[in-house]
Structure 1
Amino acid sequence: MVDGAVLIPRNGRGRSGTSLAFRLGTTATHSNFSLGITDEKRSDSPLLFLEADSMVLEAGTTYPFSLSPHKGGVKGWYYSPAGPYSSQAPASGTLTLTRVDRQARILAGRFEFVATNRATGRQVRITQGRFDYQME
């Protein structure tokens, strides 16, 4: 949900409009996660993007968003025709991993965050986000 409106991830060919990349390393140096969500069937569709870099990803763990420009934190962005928005404060969001299966290469979780347009100060609320993905 983006400010209460449903964002349905889909592409122009009837498939999911999500792109998920992750490396489920056992050390922070070898772990990362990125998730992009868009509705490619709509020309005005926003792009939602999450990233967690250099963090050991574990099931049942909630990761707060971080302001750090360096690796080791979770960050969120929202790109719309009205401009770019980004997570701004450590308390601006969370990423909760509900399943991490290194053998089957499965990652599932939930997320929510508030993103701010730095130029205008306007905010958008991303709520009830979820994903369940298996890398091929």
Structure 2
Amino acid sequence: HTATHLLHQALHDVLGEGIAQAGSNITSERLRFDYTYGGKPNPEQLKKIEEIVNQKIAENLPVVKTIEDKAIAVKSGARANFTEKYPDKVSVYSIGIYSKELCGGPHVEHTGLIGKMKIMKDEALGSGKRRIYGKLAE
């Protein structure tokens, strides 16, 4: 899940705060990340997103889990998608100071364990919804 958190934050960094996660699926070899966005990222934006993710992987940032009250975690700036599925006490994963999200896990202990991420495809799923496919490699 750590790779999707890095991708999510990089999408915000490059495309703006209008991004919202709409789903994800990840294995140790690949990821799929669905998100809402009112446009289509151009090739330069996708390249920049990939570069940011790989930079954060190379920085070998620590991934720290804390248990917090959901309302306090959200108020402190943790990204919270699908808040209705979380109980009052939540797991919050921080990746250095780069990313902070509510998540059920699992995660690596530091980003260097991910290896590299390559965006293979970005496609439209419908009005305002997109999907990124990424490959993970050691």
TM-score by length of 1: 0.26
TM-score by length of 2: 0.26
Higher helix fraction (1 or 2): 2
